[in-house]
Amino acid sequence: MLLTAKYVLPVSQPCIEDGAVLVRDGAIVDVGTRVELEQRYPGELGRDFGVAALMPGFVDLHTHLEFHVFRGIVDDLPYTGWKMQVSKLERNLTREDWEDSAYLGAMESIASGITSIADITNSGASLKAAASAGLGGIVYREVSTMDKSKVHDRLAAAREDIEDWQGRASDPLLRVGIAPHSPYTCHPTLFQAAAELAIERNLPTAIHLAGSHDEFDFVKYGSSSLAQDFREQSGWNDLAWMPTGVSPVKYVQQWGLYAVPNLLAVHCVQVDEMDMEILAENDVSVAHCPRCNAKLGMGIAPLRQLLKRGLRIGMGTDSPASNNTVDMFDEMRIGLLLQRGVTGAAEFFTAERFVRMATLEGALAVRAGERIGSLETGKQADIIAVDLSDSHQVPTRDPASVLVHSANAQNVVMTMVAGHILYDHGEHLTIDAERALARAGEIRVKLRA
């Protein structure tokens, strides 16, 4: 199939005006101008998207598909209060509820142009939804406990789930990993055991790290609401915890997790120069989630300093429990504006850089850049079409600028993963959207009650 549009953004190469992309057997066969490709492949079935941008699908480096029904349930609270409320409400949901919530998440992701996710789940609902919907990426099996006596059993259960999930994942489209949750929910020996399993099984690994002031104060000083209220709510109040005197990044370093070859650290907001050096020395990649971090009062990541150290960084939306929408356009726009506001003109980020972070650089962060993230010959055909004909986008001088500053998820008109169209002008082709929305309403009644 020959896909054509006013603009083709390969991301790895300059924009092509009046461009085309040839897709066959799930892969990109050729990229160039429309005239060139029509001459080169006469008679090829074509589809024209008009005044639109054809570009690689977004790589969402941090998601929780199963938490989509929590949208707006816990708003206007800082991080620890938000975390405690969400943890309480989780207990009201059945396995079926989690699965249907994850289907809603997959539906919204696809409609907003996301083709690859890096999802953290405890239930496995995200894997089922992503596989059924046709999404690609990584699903990490979350594991946590601050109780040393439970580490062995928790890891054994995770190992069993991972083996089961690997049998249900369509590798390489969808892979399975492990995710020790965070420094404030994991006994240090759990980091050690998870690292050993990851290295043994060659598993992608993720961790929530250095996200909030409360996490920093908990790890270094043994104080904050995470050290008191959250531990009491979690049943860990009687477990010994001594202040470490170091940052979360330095603390985790002592327990072997950075030895994992494919480690993704989520957030990395509360980091200093030494922390950034540690991350760089260990080739840890970072999921940058600016909207979630801002909404929960976690802070603003020092993006420029992280990038200067050569860290692989992509964009993550987190979940509607903390971020309300899964919209990579908003993520790029607000992320860019926050950085410009903080760093000023001396270290000015461009719209094009944020488009790269939301696509190719996100793929590189999870070591999938050879397969996805840009429109190049031989790569998997993960392609989206974004309508640029609306009044708020015309005239278009720079498509990357329009995508970041003017477009939104509603402008996505087509989402393709591995050559299969999953979403086409408002119609979901792999998900029962009507059922997903109806179930979401039913589950939200439980949460509000």
Q: Write the CB contacts of 435 (distance below 8 Å, at least 6 apart in sequence).
A: none
pLDDT score at 55? 98
User: Residue for token digits 């696509």?
Assistant: 359
Report pLDDT digits (tens) over 334-343.
999 999 999 8
Element of type H or E holding 266: strand 263-267
- Percent of the chain exceeding pLDDT 90 equals 93
Quickly list DSSP for 56-97: EPEEEEEE-GGGGGGTTTS-S--HHHHHHHHHHHHTT--HHH
> How many alpha carbons lie under 13 Å from residue 282 in its C-beta half-sphere?
24
Quick one: tokens of 411?
Answer: 């402008």
pLDDT score at 390? 85
pLDDT score at 392? 82
CATH superfamily entry for domain 2-56+382-433: Urease, subunit C, domain 1 (2.30.40.10)
**Beta strand 2-8 with 46-48: parallel, antiparallel or unpaired?**
parallel
How would residue 109 be classed by pLDDT, with cut points 50, 70 and 90? very high
Nearest to 143 by CA among 98, 184, 190, 183: 190
Amino acid letter, residue 233? Q
Asked if the model's pLDDT at residue 346 lies above 80, the reply is no
Nearest to 388 by CA among 7, 127, 44: 7
The pLDDT of 215-242, averaged and rounded, is: 92
Contact 105, 66 (CB under 8 A): yes
How would residue 141 be classed by pLDDT, with cut points 50, 70 and 90? very high
Asked if the model's pLDDT at residue 345 lies above 80, the reply is no
CA dist 311 and 281 (Å) reads 9
Quick one: tokens of 394?
Answer: 């015309």
The pLDDT of 196-224, averaged and rounded, is: 96
Quickly list DSSP for 363-422: HHHTT-TTTSSS--TTSB--EEEEE--SGGG-S-S-HHHHHHHT--GGGEEEEEETTEEE
The pLDDT of 92-97, averaged and rounded, is: 95
Report pLDDT digits (tens) over 14-64.
999 999 999 999 999 999 999 999 999 999 999 999 999 999 999 999 999
Q: Is 213 exposed, middle or buried (0-12, 13-18, 19+ CB in 10 A)?
A: middle
pLDDT score at 241? 87
- Percent of the chain exceeding pLDDT 70 equals 100
- Spell out the alpha helix ranges (H) of 222-373: 231-233, 248-253, 273-281, 290-295, 303-308, 320-323, 328-343, 351-357, 360-365
Nearest to 193 by CA among 251, 255, 104, 265: 255
CA dist 281 and 135 (Å) reads 32
Nearest to 201 by CA among 170, 163, 169: 163
Report pLDDT digits (tens) over 2-15.
999 999 999 999 99
Name the CA radius of gyration of the chain, rounded. 21
Contact 293, 269 (CB under 8 A): yes
Contact 211, 266 (CB under 8 A): yes
What does CATH list as the number for 58-365?
Answer: 3.20.20.140
Average pLDDT of every residue of the chain: 96
Q: Where in the chain is the domain with CATH 3.20.20.140?
A: 58-365
Max alpha carbon distance in the chain (Å)?
A: 73
Quick one: tokens of 430?
Answer: 């792999």
Q: Which residues pair with 313 in a beta bridge?
A: 286
Quick one: tokens of 24?
Answer: 């066959």
Q: Where in the chain is the domain with CATH 2.30.40.10?
A: 2-56+382-433
Asked if the model's pLDDT at residue 194 lies above 80, the reply is yes
Strands (DSSP E) found in 100-225: 114-121, 136-143, 174-180, 205-209
CA dist 267 and 209 (Å) reads 6
User: Residue for token digits 């040839």?
Assistant: 22
How would residue 161 be classed by pLDDT, with cut points 50, 70 and 90? very high
pLDDT score at 94? 95
Residue 147 φ/ψ, nearest 5 degrees: -95, 110
